[in-house]
Amino acid sequence: MDPSLELDLRIAGRGSRLASLHAALRDAIASGRLAPGLRLPASRELAARVGVSRNTAVAAYELLASEGWLESRGAAGSFVAELPRAAVSVSDRASVAPWADSRWLRGDAGGWPAPLVSGPPPAYHFKTGMPEVASFPFDVLRRLQTRALQAAAREPARYPEAQGLRALREAIAGHVSSSRAVACTADDVVITAGAQQAFDLIARVLVTPGRTRAAVENPGYPPLRAALLGAGALLAPVPVDAEGLAVAALPADARIVCVTPSHQAPLGMAMSLARRRDLLNWAAERQAVVIEDDYDGEFRFTSRPLDALKTLDRDGRVFYVGTLSKSMLPALRLGYVVTPAWARDALVAAKHAAGFGTPALMQAAVADFITEGHLLRHVRRMRGEYAERRRVLEQMLQRHLGERVQILPAIAGLHLAVALPGVDTDELTRRAWAAGVGVEPLSRYGAGMGEMPGLVLGYGSVTAARIPEAVRRLARALGTL
């Protein structure tokens, strides 16, 4: 830490200067203004700043060190000591704002459940939602970022548009039109900080707290449920079957329906064409809207990807949410919404209020990455790689787990769901982790009713060559149950 740290210490004009300096420093540490590990200014500099003699500054440091507030490290200087929490004065939020009663403060807004196992990642980690990173063309993106930075240096300084850089919106409109048959223009696209911000913004715009009922797939994506709950929605978990969301089970008073029609999260089936039409007809009859989460629909292995649900939308009821986290990199934090025209201005205003900009330099680089064809080439290359990983994973599961495992049919995406009837999958997760294999129980995606025992196995970060040993270890862990 730079020893020229600014300190705002109030030294009393009367009484002992030493006592006053000692109390000011002690209070700054106890209140958290001076954090543990922080290096304080040298005694000579401190004395000059606060108007005391150097001997007084040295004495204050020595007294604080003797009390345990500071630790001296010789020539390196004096540092704020690591203190037990009880020694630091921290106000309890409930005593400060007893009127505050949001779901976020209560801790019941949802999101991912706490992990069953913590610690360093295991040697083989079937982590969901993670694409292959080693094969990404970082050199291309680096060159495009440099170009964007050079262009920015020649332009007047300005904040990025809340809706997103127009060049990126045009690139995404072209990409989803050609790859997912979503007819749209740049004006229909709102750039977001990943799909999660898209869910949050849509919930802010559509949900009337305590009144709006939102239907969600069960099992489904927990962070989407969290965005809706945090906005005050009433959730209605709806089962899925072999054709996707069970439209017949939707509650009549639902006004928002959330679906993953191209690759159900997490079970993997695609929503049938008949079921898609049923859903849109149901929404039209009840003046409801649909949030379509198309998180990895580009990675379909057996045929051309099914057109998006948004493709069939003729009434402006579908909010199509996409992300570049799976097709490019999670670290980009770039997603988008193809929004109905009637909601566009409200979404942009909500994004402006939430922190209107996603980094413009990265937007510019990604826009070029898409328009120059790098994204399409990368997706095509990785589609073949992921298909091979999925083939090997299915083969190894059948070979080593046999009749104990039921592989759920799916023909797209970066993960595979399996059912394990009669198995305590929480315990299996712990034993697999101890054997060096990271897995997720299917129960983490459930909404608290009728969870199927099983696992979700992401293969984006496990190569085909490493999958056989990973499955052998998983089988040994299962054999111990």
Would you list the domain boundaries of the chain? 17-87, 124-133+378-479, 138-376
Predicted local confidence at residue 35, as pLDDT? 86
Q: What is the pLDDT of residue 481?
A: 65
User: Which of these, 252, 238, 241, 330, lies nearest to 287 by C-alpha position?
Assistant: 252
Question: Whole-angstrom Cα distance, residue 181 to residue 312?
Answer: 10
Give, rounded to a whole angstrom, the gap between the first and last alpha carbons of the chain.
51
Pairing of strands 406-407, 415-419: antiparallel
Residue listed under structure tokens 């072999």 = 242
Strands (E), 122-203: 124-125, 189-192
Q: May I ask the CATH class of domain 138-376?
A: alpha beta
Strand partners, 290: 257, 318
Q: Do 179 and 407 meet the contact criterion of CB atoms below 8 Å apart?
A: no
For residue 376, what pLDDT is reported? Answer: 94
- Which helix (H) or strand (E) is 336 found in, with range? strand 335-338
**What are residue 387's phi and psi, to 5 degrees?**
-60, -40
pLDDT at 437: 96
pTM for the model: 0.83
DSSP codes, 270-322 = PPPHHHHHHHHHHHHHHT-EEEEE-SSTT-BSSSSPPPPHHHH--SS-EEEEE
Give the fold, CATH level 3, of 124-133+378-479.
Answer: Aspartate Aminotransferase, domain 1 (3.90.1150)
177: Cβ–Cβ under 8 A, 6 or more apart, which residues?
Answer: 183, 184
Ranges of residues in the chain with a pLDDT under 50 are: 1-4
Predicted local distance difference test score (pLDDT) of residue 226: 93
CATH 3.40.50.1820 fits 17-87, yes or no: no
Q: Going by C-beta distance under 8 Å and a sequence separation of 6 or more, which residues neighbour residue 231?
A: 200, 203, 204, 207, 209
Domains 17-87 and 124-133+378-479 share a fold: no
Cα separation of 379 and 359, whole Å? 23
The answer to whether the CB of 259 falls within 8 A of the CB of 271 is yes
pLDDT value of residue 2: 46
Residue 234 identity (one-letter amino acid): L
